[in-house]
């Protein structure tokens, strides 16, 4: 997945054209236009004990995978509160430009936003460590860290800097490793590789000698086809299939070491949150838990089917990064991430907590989930019905 400032706004879309239109719309909106747009929507209203809130997402409305969790969140808040609190969902750019969603929530223009933590790294650097870290925790571990490893408290501390309450509200799981027109046989092959890969993953590829570029989504397929870039990452089989990237690249690499568990955030204006009654707070917390599971469940089910389609219908060549490459990238990731965290006390506090949880998680995964996956992947035939 991608994360960027509003200028190179890159938030995924099923269709290049649709996405390009969206980006254009989002990036050409001026601050003045924003103010007009904001004022043209009704302010939150409270009548007969019934509140109306507005939530803007950073992605287009109903965007597959990333956007459906926000819809479920709003739906369950309205249903569970019997209309005491209803949340209207707006796509990126509908109230303010997509990447000004946080400003709109921080300032109280709207009450809620839905996006990904690393979109806000320009405001508070530590948010990028809440999102997903190269070779860090996977979704299962990240959720456990949030609930039992002190993660929720740290995330709330980070979002306090933005004037917001934080909830995890979706997860992509391990992403795809990216679409390549050059083979990666050794770490040397990254030298001079022109790759579109944003965020921390991009910093690691840079450290490996790569020539990292940022492109809006719609420009990726032609750039890949023409050789202007050698490789790009996107999300995973579900979104990548819909985006048609298999038409422009020879190889689909795995695993997505750069984004093992990209978390989606629901951020709520802190004053709006603090003003809620306890029942509405409980409803929002459980509805976010529902959305958090719903999104990764949707990704897993659709990635399952989409990978099957990519390989068996479109003949995509799937390749694993060789272990020495992954080992080398892992070491570079440690260096890059450690340096970034050392420069910012709050980032460091988050990373120290995650690193501690990660150390035990690696040992336990080797005993449990990892070992089970490997055992289940052995050649035996299971049930034949």
Site residues for its own copies, 228-247, by CB under 8 A, read 236-237
Q: Are 291 and 114 in contact (CB under 8 A)?
A: no
Partner residues linked to 90 by β-bridges: 56
Q: Are 62 and 12 in contact (CB under 8 A)?
A: no
Which of 44-52, 86-94, 114-122, 303-311 is the region at the interface with its own copies (rule: CB under 8 A)?
A: 303-311
Q: Is 321 in the site for its own copies (CB under 8 A)?
A: yes
User: Smaller CB distance to its own copies: residue 315 or 376?
Assistant: 376
Q: Is 31 in the site for its own copies (CB under 8 A)?
A: no
Q: Is 86 in the site for its own copies (CB under 8 A)?
A: no
Q: Is 317 in the site for its own copies (CB under 8 A)?
A: no
| Residue 92 vs residues 9, 55, 57, 164, 188: alpha-carbon distances, Å | 10, 10, 5, 19, 39
Question: For residue 369, how far is the Cα from the chain centroid?
Answer: 23
Q: Is 300 in the site for its own copies (CB under 8 A)?
A: yes
Q: How far is the CB of 37 from its own copies (least distance, A)?
A: 32
Q: Is 294 in the site for its own copies (CB under 8 A)?
A: yes
Q: Is 262 in the site for its own copies (CB under 8 A)?
A: no
Which of 41-49, 89-97, 157-165, 285-293 is the region at the interface with its own copies (rule: CB under 8 A)?
A: 285-293
User: Smaller CB distance to its own copies: residue 185 or 370?
Assistant: 370
| Binding residues with its own copies: total (CB under 8 A) | 101
Helix (H/G/I), strand (E/B), else coil: 212: strand
Q: Is 375 in the site for its own copies (CB under 8 A)?
A: yes
Q: Which of residues 181-210 bind its own copies (CB under 8 A)?
A: none
For residue 44, count CB atoms less than 10 angstroms from its CB and return exposed for 0-12, middle for 13-18, buried for 19 or more: middle
According to CB under 8 A, which one of 53, 63, 76, 167 is a site residue for its own copies?
A: 76
Q: How far is the CB of 127 from its own copies (least distance, A)?
A: 18
CA distance 44 to 351: 37
According to CB under 8 A, which one of 33, 286, 313, 345 is a site residue for its own copies?
A: 286
> Helix H segments across the chain?
16-28, 31-39, 68-80, 101-106, 127-131, 139-148, 151-160, 199-207, 220-226, 237-243, 270-274, 278-312, 323-342, 345-367, 369-376
Q: Is 82 in the site for its own copies (CB under 8 A)?
A: yes
| Angle between the N-to-C axes of helices 369-376 and 345-367, in degrees from 0 to 180, rounded to the nearest 10 | 50
Q: Is 293 in the site for its own copies (CB under 8 A)?
A: yes
User: Smaller CB distance to its own copies: residue 42 or 379?
Assistant: 379
CA distance 42 to 59: 22
User: Smaller CB distance to its own copies: residue 32 or 376?
Assistant: 376
Q: Which of residues 119-148 bind its own copies (CB under 8 A)?
A: 135, 138-141, 143-148
Q: Is 2 in the site for its own copies (CB under 8 A)?
A: no
The count of other CB atoms within 10 Å of the CB of residue 197 is: 25
CA distance 218 to 138: 29
According to CB under 8 A, which one of 5, 183, 327, 345 is a site residue for its own copies?
A: 327
Which secondary-structure segment (H or E) carries 265? Answer: strand 263-269
According to CB under 8 A, which one of 53, 120, 246, 357 is a site residue for its own copies?
A: 357
The count of other CB atoms within 10 Å of the CB of residue 347 is: 22
Partner residues linked to 196 by β-bridges: 213, 232
Q: Is 361 in the site for its own copies (CB under 8 A)?
A: yes
Q: Is 30 in the site for its own copies (CB under 8 A)?
A: no
Q: Is 170 in the site for its own copies (CB under 8 A)?
A: no
Q: Is 384 in the site for its own copies (CB under 8 A)?
A: yes
| Angle between the N-to-C axes of helices 139-148 and 345-367, in degrees from 0 to 180, rounded to the nearest 10 | 120
Q: Is 32 in the site for its own copies (CB under 8 A)?
A: no
According to CB under 8 A, which one of 277, 313, 314, 345 is a site residue for its own copies?
A: 277
DSSP single-letter state for residue 109: S
Q: Is 351 in the site for its own copies (CB under 8 A)?
A: yes
Which of 7-15, 75-83, 91-99, 115-123 is the region at the interface with its own copies (rule: CB under 8 A)?
A: 75-83
């Amino acid at each position: 997945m991608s994360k960027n400032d509003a200028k190179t706004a890159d938030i995924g879309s099923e269709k290049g054209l649709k996405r390009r239109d969206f980006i254009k719309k989002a990036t050409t909106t001026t601050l003045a236009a924003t103010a007009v747009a904001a004022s043209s929507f009704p302010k939150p209203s409270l009548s007969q004990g019934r509140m109306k809130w507005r939530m803007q997402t950073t992605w287009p409305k109903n965007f597959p995978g990333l956007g459906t969790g926000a819809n479920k969140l709003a739906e369950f808040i309205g249903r569970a509160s019997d209309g005491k609190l209803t949340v209207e969902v707006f796509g990126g750019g509908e109230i303010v430009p997509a990447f000004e969603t946080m400003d709109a929530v921080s300032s109280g223009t709207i009450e809620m936003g839905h996006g990904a933590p690393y979109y806000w790294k320009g405001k508070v650097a530590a948010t990028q460590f809440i999102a997903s870290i190269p070779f860090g925790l996977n979704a299962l571990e990240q959720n456990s860290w949030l609930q039992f490893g002190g993660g929720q408290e740290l995330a709330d501390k980070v979002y306090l800097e933005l004037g917001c309450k934080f909830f995890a509200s979706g997860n992509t799981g391990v992403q795809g490793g990216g679409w390549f027109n050059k083979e990666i046989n050794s770490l040397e092959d990254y030298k001079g590789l022109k790759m579109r890969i944003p965020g921390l993953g991009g910093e690691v590829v840079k450290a490996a000698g790569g020539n990292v570029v940022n492109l809006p989504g719609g420009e990726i397929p032609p750039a890949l086809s023409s050789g202007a870039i050698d490789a790009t990452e996107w999300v995973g089989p579900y979104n990548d299939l819909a985006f048609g990237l298999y038409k422009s690249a020879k190889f689909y690499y795995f695993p997505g070491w750069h984004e093992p568990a990209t978390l989606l955030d629901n951020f709520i204006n802190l004053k709006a949150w603090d003003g809620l009654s306890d029942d509405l707070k409980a409803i929002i917390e459980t509805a976010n838990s529902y959305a958090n599971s719903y999104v990764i469940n949707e990704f897993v089910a659709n990635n399952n089917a989409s990978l099957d389609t990519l390989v068996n219908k479109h003949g995509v060549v799937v390749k694993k990064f060789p272990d020495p490459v992954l080992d080398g990238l892992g070491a570079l990731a440690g260096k890059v991430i450690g340096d970034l965290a050392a420069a910012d006390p709050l980032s460091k506090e988050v990373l120290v907590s995650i690193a501690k949880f990660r150390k035990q998680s690696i040992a336990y995964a080797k005993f449990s989930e990892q070992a089970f996956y490997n055992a289940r992947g052995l050649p035996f035939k299971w049930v034949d019905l």
